[in-house]
Amino acid sequence: MGKFIYEGSVRVEIEDRALAHLQVVISNKLRRGEAFQFTWRDDASVGDGRTSVWMHAHASLVFKYYGSRTPAVNPAWLDALAYTANSTSGLHLVSEPAHNGADETAEVVP
């Protein structure tokens, strides 16, 4: 389980593989100067609601991984996440779709 930390105070635990894919999508949008909303469901231990943050180029973001191995990238999942990030509701975690690409060993390069 990794952590996404926004502005030093908003924290959420996200599985390392999902976090790596979110990092790529977030980094790509911010690199292009695109601000957007990122929303996730909160764990029952913190209220079982939702949290939304406004992602922008000047926000302080930390992606903390607990595993030592870099997960392989699933391009189909990146596309699905990017699609939500470009929608009016903003980025949110969706289930990983099947990937039938030839390169199953590609590593995440944020």
How does DSSP classify residue 89?
A: T
* Mean of all residue pLDDT scores within the chain: 89
Residue 79 host element (H or E): helix 75-85
Check if the beta carbon of residue 66 is closer than 8 Å to that of residue 39. no
What pLDDT was estimated at residue 108? 46
Reported as a single tens digit per residue, the pLDDT across 32-48 is 999 999 999 988 877 77
Taking every pair of C-alpha atoms in the chain, what is the biggest distance, in angstroms?
42
